[in-house]
Amino acid sequence: MKIAVISPSRSSMQEMARCLGAASHSVVLAEGGKSRMRGMAEQEQPDLMIVEGMCCDVNELDQVEYVTTHFPGVAVVLLCSTNTPEFLIRSMRAGVREVLPSPASPAALDAAVQRIASKLAVPHGRSPGKILAFMPCKGGCGATFLATNFGYQLAASKSVLLIDLNLQFGDALSFLHDGKAPVTIADVARDISRLDSSFLAAAAVRVTPNFSILAAPDDPSAAMEVKPEHIEAILKQAVMQYDFVVLDMARTLDPLTIKALDRAYRIFPVLQAGLPHLRNASRLLAVFRSLDYSTEKIELLVNRFERSGDIGVDAIQRSLGAHRLHTVPNSYKDVNASINHGSALVQTARSNAVARNLAELVTTLSPRVEDGQGVLGRLFRRA
């Protein structure tokens, strides 16, 4: 791993560098405090940043949060000589992975680094994020509702960027946020030569610390400026920065859409259990076959499903073939209340069956790792 160490104490920094270097990590050092974090993240793009000397003052966490938000690929560990429960909780909210007592013993440091390395999965740099595309089979089937709320729930444990690829009439942001996006995907396309991690993070609207949305332009004609090569570049950058990139797709199959679908890890065609939906889904699946997409790449989402309906799961599967199929219940009142409120369903109706159902879908894509410890236990590990 590439590890950046920031500390006001040169001797402590050199001691850590010796210990980390002995474990074959590449280490860069910066003498100073948290104000060095942003510059180090930009210039060095480390996998891990260890920052010593921040203690108790929750106001200091703003600069930490800037880094965890704009550089989701950088894990941050703080070393503090004293702290309070409030500081620990605020650290967690700011996206800090662990808070260790300072000075950290070589054993404690090594153990923390190993825990983080094991989560990074790939020892030399982070593995690219996965692209999940939500594709409506028919207008109004609920693709945007599912993409936004699924993304929101997934972001409880992963970093997620949702990109609204409904370029002309995209409304994804309004499902979770009230207010307009100051910058949209059309602005990013216009300035594509500037695209890097900071530019992408700044262009997206931050809905929660771990979840951002790159919105569609307000003006439908601006959509014409977005070309397939822009999408290619944005997706390439996005997977380097986020664990998951959720795409809210338009119901069109043009070169731009196909470019995005080609890169997807999973495509979720969204339909309802009705004949017009099944007919469209069947056409869409035929196109996917002609594009040589594997059966596993496609998982059907049957939205607003009711067991008492005319068309059951067996009939859908007979008509659409051997894809994984996931049904989402119908819940008109709560779903509409959440959309009208511009808030995620888990926020407005935590125990709603649709929210619980989406939590299950999240688990199939990103199984939870239980370590049997509470939040404070995970954050504050004693040497």
If the CB atoms of residues 144 and 338 are measured against Mg ion, the closer one turns out to be 144
CA dihedral sign, ordered 362, 366, 371, 374: negative
If one asks whether residue 144 binds Mg ion (CB under 5 A), the answer comes out as yes
If one asks whether residue 332 binds ligand ADP (CB under 6 A), the answer comes out as yes
**330 interface partner picked from Mg ion, ligand ADP, none, CB below 5 to 8 A per type:** ligand ADP
**Which one, of 381, 291, 343, lies nearest residue 107 by Cα?**
381
Q: Which stretch binds ligand ADP (CB under 6 A): 136-144, 188-196, 276-284, 287-295?
A: 136-144
In angstroms, what is the minimal distance from the CB of 340 to ligand ADP?
Answer: 9
If the CB atoms of residues 87 and 150 are measured against ligand ADP, the closer one turns out to be 150
In angstroms, what is the minimal distance from the CB of 230 to ligand ADP?
Answer: 22
Applying CB under 6 A, among 95, 128, 136, 170 the residue interacting with ligand ADP is 136
If the CB atoms of residues 223 and 354 are measured against ligand ADP, the closer one turns out to be 354
If one asks whether residue 331 binds ligand ADP (CB under 6 A), the answer comes out as yes
Applying CB under 6 A, among 74, 113, 298, 339 the residue interacting with ligand ADP is 339
Q: Which stretch binds ligand ADP (CB under 6 A): 51-59, 185-193, 282-290, 327-335?
A: 327-335
- Burial (CB < 10 A; 0-12, 13-18, 19+), residue 259, is middle
- Binders in 311-330 for Mg ion, by CB under 5 A: none
CA distance 172 to 169: 9
- Binders in 269-308 for ligand ADP, by CB under 6 A: 270, 303-304
If one asks whether residue 272 binds Mg ion (CB under 5 A), the answer comes out as no
Residues linked to residue 363 through DSSP beta bridges, in sequence order: none
If one asks whether residue 91 binds ligand ADP (CB under 6 A), the answer comes out as no
If one asks whether residue 160 binds ligand ADP (CB under 6 A), the answer comes out as no
If the CB atoms of residues 144 and 241 are measured against Mg ion, the closer one turns out to be 144
Interface residues with ligand ADP (CB under 6 A)?
136, 139-145, 270, 303-304, 328, 330-332, 335-336, 339, 354
Interface residues with Mg ion (CB under 5 A)?
144
